[in-house]
Amino acid sequence: MTSSAAPTAAPLSESEDRQWASFAHLGGILGFLPSLIIWLVFKDRGAFTNREAKEALNFQITAAIAYIALLILTTILSVVTFGIFGLIAPLLYLALWAGVIVFSILGFLKAKDGVPYRYPVALRLIK
């Protein structure tokens, strides 16, 4: 008869903890999935990874909400302005995309050195 308890994964070393925490931030360039996967897999194995992956995930969720809000705003304002706002909207999407890239890289650079990073704009939905 086998035991029903799943084996517990070993805690991360300090360097692995920093590595996965930094990857959680850098993964934000691709969207929220890398941060979510890293948080789910490593949250119980490293305290630093837990904090930083949550921070990165919260930022990515905030960015996704911003994209959806921008899409709704663009649709409404394009209709109201007879399509004129549709010419400006791509610049707003580009600015949001660039912000996500820049802040994700800044988070990566801080986390790889073991320094906690706090995004300037993020809804703290996951505590």
Structure-model confidence comparison of residues 38 and 126, the more confident one: 38
Could you tell me if 96 and 102 are in contact, meaning their C-beta atoms sit under 8 angstroms apart? no
Per-residue pLDDT band at 125 (split at 50, 70, 90): confident
pLDDT tens digits, one per residue of 5-35: 556 778 888 899 999 999 999 999 998 999 9
CA distance 112 to 104: 12
CA distance 68 to 60: 12
CA distance 22 to 110: 8
Mean pLDDT of 46-64: 95
Read off the pTM: 0.86
Reply yes or no on whether the pLDDT at 108 is more than 90: yes
Domain coordinates of the chain in residue numbers? 14-112
pLDDT computed for residue 59 by the predictor: 97
Find tokens 């109201």 and name the residue. 80
- Give CA 80 to chain center in angstroms: 33
